[in-house]
Amino acid sequence: MTVGFSGAVAEYYAKFRRGYPPQVFDALQETFGLSQADLVLDMGCGTGQLALPFASRVRAVVGVDPEPDMLRLARRAAEAQGVRNATWALGADTELPTLGSLLGKRSLALMVVGQALHWMRHDELFRMAAPLLRMGGGIAVISNGTPLWLQDSPWSRALRSCLEEWIGTPLTATCGTSSRDRLRYAETLRSAGFDGVREMAVEYRDELSFDELFGGVCSAIPADRLPGPDERDALAERIRRAIPAGEPFTEEVRVTMLVGHVRVGDGGVS
């Protein structure tokens, strides 16, 4: 996974990326029987939106990301929250076997992959993860709602039109959040030998200020395309004029958790 979410983009990511409600972690803890003896791996961890909330529920978490700035900010967040059982490792999804050689077979209770899966070779990742998972453990692919510019609301449609005009191309990529994406991931999980593949969901309503909306947009722009500070102010003003007036901006968030358990005999038991 090579993306390029460094510098200011990573800062926007840490400050403005949507977090996950506690119900998501409750559901995963129950599904995989997580306890204080367990180890959780967050592949493509970004600045720790998934990894850090897991820390109080398990023995340790390991966050892996190919972007040093993301990991720097994840460490900063861990320190600010007093989290001492999180380890951060620089690496891509293709390097999971190397990490596995350090952790050992059947060492993981759960591997979570959030909004970064669409950057990865998910079929290879799922196969490589199976031998590292304990009996009863598995994988959770988590989709944290529809991108801000693809939602079914007047402000989102106006935002999309504005961004398409600015970029000069239609914005159609779902970033792994569509039902078609989840179906494809589910089929690949089954092909990789995972059982009980199913989807869970948590739904809630959120309200965004304009700064949160704009920060969320900037967190999704690769560093080599993010405008400089002066141009960024101009883009913010352009978006502000394009979308309907009146904060906050309401969004309906549906967090989906696609889960699969390691097949007994393939990696869960010897």
Chain segment 1-46, per-residue pLDDT in tens: 445 788 999 999 999 999 999 999 999 999 999 999 999 999 999 9
Alpha carbons 112 and 67: distance in angstroms, whole number: 18
Q: What is the pLDDT of residue 270?
A: 31
Q: What is the pLDDT of residue 2?
A: 47
Judged against a pLDDT cut of 60, whether residue 268 lies above it is answered with: no
Chain segment 62-102, per-residue pLDDT in tens: 999 999 999 999 999 999 999 999 999 999 999 999 999 99
Q: What is the pLDDT of residue 266?
A: 53
> Which residue has tokens 């978490």?
61
Judged against a pLDDT cut of 50, whether residue 269 lies above it is answered with: no
Residue 165 lies in a domain: no
Q: Is residue 176 a contact partner of residue 143, using CB atoms and an 8 Å limit?
A: yes
Chain segment 209-267, per-residue pLDDT in tens: 999 999 999 999 988 889 998 899 999 999 999 999 888 999 999 999 999 999 866 54
Q: Is residue 126 a contact partner of residue 116, using CB atoms and an 8 Å limit?
A: no
Alpha carbons 12 and 264: distance in angstroms, whole number: 42
Residue 155 lies in a domain: no
Q: What is the pLDDT of residue 200?
A: 97
The parent domain of residue 193 ranges over 7-147+173-205+252-262
Residue 270 lies in a domain: no
Residue 107 lies in a domain: yes
- For the record, the structure tokens of 160 come out as 């999309």
Alpha carbons 114 and 203: distance in angstroms, whole number: 16
Nearest to 174, CA basis, from 107, 235, 256, 236: 256
Residue 83 lies in a domain: yes
Residue 139 lies in a domain: yes
**Count of structural domains, the chain:** 1
Nearest to 112, CA basis, from 75, 158, 65, 149: 65
Instruction: Specify the CATH number for the domain of residue 57.
Output: 3.40.50.150
- State the number of CA atoms in the 13 A half-sphere of 38 facing the CB: 24
Residue 235 lies in a domain: no
- For the record, the structure tokens of 120 come out as 């990865």
- For the record, the structure tokens of 108 come out as 């993981």
AA identity, residue 185? Y
Chain segment 144-159, per-residue pLDDT in tens: 999 999 999 999 999 9
Q: What is the pLDDT of residue 178?
A: 86
Strands (E) in 102-239, as ranges, are 108-113, 133-144, 194-208
Chain segment 108-138, per-residue pLDDT in tens: 999 999 988 988 999 999 999 999 999 999 9
Residue 180 lies in a domain: yes
